[in-house]
Structure 1
Amino acid sequence: VVGIFSRRDEKDRPYRDVVRSTWMQQPMVCPLQMLGDNRSDCKIFVTFVVGRPSSAASSKGTATMRRHDAGVEESNDETDLTALDVSENMNCGKTRAWFDYGARNYREATHIAKMDMDAFVQVPNLLNIMERFPDTGCPHIFGGRSWNCPDTRFCPP
């Protein structure tokens, strides 16, 4: 499952449309709604991850989170958005909330990933890396750069 980080405002919609019309059209890429359909033509499931307006979000950043929130006020026809109950932010817990939410809600997924909209996924390369990754015996592995967590409200336990 790949969560593409976006903002819920209309300024980001054209960028989401570009992602939908480019790398999301590659073979083996499907919308997250198809996860669990046991389709052999889907190996990467994608959703756009957005936060809530500051006034509507939980102050702790991890309270209730809703799956496939198609009721985004300004984008009612975008059914591939997942709205987390965190304030829309860059460095205050949205990433942590996504990994927590993904691990809890998509248990059938073998991987939970996060990316930004300005990245282009070479799907065959990504699948090759994932399929060749050695079995470490550890069910939880983080790949990526580590982050400093000065505000413990948004840090892993």
Structure 2
Amino acid sequence: MARSEYIRGTTVRKPNRVRRDMPYHVHETGRQHKRHNMSLGYLLFLSLAMVLMVGTLAWYISLQSQVKNSVKNIAALESQLNNLKQDNDEAYNRANGNVDLEEVKRIAIQEYGMTYATEGQVVTYSDGGGNDYVRQLAPIPEVGKN
């Protein structure tokens, strides 16, 4: 093989001509540049999508903050409720501990003339709803009188 033979692919290639249909083109300097073929409509669409994304993210962060504040507020109110229940139970126990039921019975019978109800004096009414109280809409009739 002689030195003067041409070997395919060993020569310096000529720069490609600029083709408008390709995404990249080469300038005379040999640098490759990407062509930007974005239309105004596509650019507006991308901008609107970005604004919506940022707005949604801000709204989501705001909701997360509200939820976190609500949870903290609920925890504080539950703690306050537990403290009030405990204080109420302690006051109730102190009040019950200070009452002598025998003394109350003695005062009711001796000083106020109260007596135990006899069997004919007790009348039971049913309100049908199972409530803890009866709403009186009319006078309660006396037993034995019609």
Shared fold per TM-score greater than 0.5: no
TM-score (norm 2): 0.18
Q: TM-score, normalised by structure 1?
A: 0.17
Higher relative contact order (CA 8 A, sep 6+): 1
User: Which structure features the higher share of helix residues?
Assistant: 2
Bigger Rg over Cα: 2
